[in-house]
Structure 1
Amino acid sequence: MIVALLNQKGGVGKTTLALHLAGEWARRGKRVVLIDADPQGSALDWSQQRAREGQARLFGVVGLARDTLHSEAPELARSADYVVIDGPPRVASLMRSALLASDLVLIPVQPSPFDGWASAEMLSLLGEARIYRPQLAARFVLNRCGARTVIARETAETLADHDPPVLTSTIGQRVTFADAARSGRLVSEINERSPAAREITALCAEVGRIAP
């Protein structure tokens, strides 16, 4: 299964979610490859920091920020249970290629009036990809949510009848995600009983139930 984290808007937490989904599946014994398709290379930086900190490697991270993803990702998928693509912001050609490569697209959005709606271009690219990949599944995922805030609830309600729909699982705005990014770790490795770790577990389970 190839899962891509995509959004034209930067700063919505694509890399954090991509790393934690890949890490959670790997901790469950799945074979996982993460493709860093963002020219900034944040996932690769995390992997290198993990190695410097002496942490065991959980999954492979491959830098592949080019518009041949749709032909190269399926090759990687042959030897993996999951391929996770950390997508680029604002690079339409890379976005198109990632969409064509994927079985499932997750669109992270933050609970705000602007992030509540994916950009028109993102939805246009998704519609275009579905011409060639009619079975391509897509979901919004609410990320960096304040606990029980009105705006988070309103954003979820706004997206409830939207296409794509929104996942039930949400991810909170938590300092431990920043700590994990700096140290090359996962939140479950910092504290597996933390709210952040529980949220990632729930997200991973819900994503796993979506048939490609």
Structure 2
Amino acid sequence: MIVALLNQKGGVGKTTLALHLAGQWAQSGRRVMLIDADPQGSALDWAEQRAAEGLPRQFSVIGLARDTLHQEAPALARDVDHVIIDGPPRVAGLLRSALLAADLILIPVQPSPLDGWASAEMLALLDQARIFKPAITARFLLNRYPARTIIARATAESLEAHDPPLLPEHVGQRVIFAEAMRTGRLASELDEDGIAAREVAALADAIERLAP
């Protein structure tokens, strides 16, 4: 399965989610490859930090920020169980290629009226991709979700009737994710039984159930 995390708005947590999903599946015995399709290369930076810390590599991270991604990713997927694409912000050619490469599109959004979560441009690109690949599955994913706030509830309610639909699982706003990104670690390595690790595990299970 090829899963792409895409949103034209930067700063919604695509890289953090991509790395933690990859780590969760790898820890569950899956063979996983993460493709860093963001020219900023944040996932590659994380992998380099991990290597510098002397930590074992759990999954491979490669840089592939070019618009031939849809041609190259399927070949890479033959040797692994899951490919995860950490997508770019606002690079239309790369976004189109990532959309065509993926079996499942996750659109991370934050609970904010200013976040552009219902970007007409993003959804238009998804509709265009479905012309060539009708079987693409897509879901909105609430990230950095501050529980028990009015805006969080309002965002979730507004997305429940949306197309693409909203995944019922969400990931909270937790300091441990920032620490994980800084140190080349995963939240589960910092706190194996913590709520962040449990949220990532639940999200990974939910995504696997969507596999085509």
Tell me, yes or no, whether TM beats 0.5. Answer: yes
Unaligned runs of 5+ in 2: none
TM-score by length of 2: 0.98
Q: In structure 2, how many angstroms separate the alpha carbons of the residues matched to 1:149 and 1:21? A: 26
Q: Give the drift of 1:126.
A: 0.2
The answer to whether the 8 Å contact 2:22/2:84 transfers is: yes
Q: Deviations over 1:66-92 (max 9, x none)?
A: 000000000100001000000000000
Q: Does 1:85 align with 2:85?
A: yes
Q: In structure 1, how many angstroms separate the alpha carbons of the residues matched to 2:120 and 2:46? A: 31
Counterpart amino acid of residue 196 in structure 1? A
Structure 1 residue matching 2:124: 3-state secondary structure: helix
- Structure 2 counterpart of 1:2: 2
Q: Give the drift of 1:186.
A: 0.3
Structure ranking higher in strand proportion: 1
Q: In structure 1, how many angstroms separate the alpha carbons of the residues matched to 2:7 and 2:147? A: 23
Counterpart amino acid of residue 110 in structure 2? Q
- Structure 2 counterpart of 1:67: 67
Q: In structure 1, how many angstroms separate the alpha carbons of the residues matched to 2:190 and 2:177? A: 10
Q: In structure 1, how many angstroms separate the alpha carbons of the residues matched to 2:57 and 2:190? A: 16
Q: Give the drift of 1:116.
A: 6.2
The Cα RMSD (Å) is 0.8
Counterpart amino acid of residue 204 in structure 1? A
Counterpart amino acid of residue 104 in structure 2? L
Q: In structure 1, how many angstroms separate the alpha carbons of the residues matched to 2:207 and 2:154? A: 22
Counterpart mapping for 1:121-140 below 5 A: 121-140=121-140
- Structure 2 counterpart of 1:200: 200
Structure 2 residue matching 1:144: 3-state secondary structure: coil
Q: In structure 1, how many angstroms separate the alpha carbons of the residues matched to 2:9 and 2:22? A: 22
- Structure 1 counterpart of 2:118: 118
- Structure 1 counterpart of 2:175: 175
- Structure 1 counterpart of 2:55: 55
Please list every run of at least 4 consecutive aligned residues from structure 1 whose deviation after the TM superposition is greater than 2 angstroms: 114-118
Q: In structure 2, how many angstroms separate the alpha carbons of the residues matched to 1:211 and 1:8? A: 24
The answer to whether the 8 Å contact 2:110/2:117 transfers is: no
- Structure 2 counterpart of 1:145: 145
Percent sequence identity over matched residues?
70
Structure 2 residue matching 1:98: 3-state secondary structure: helix
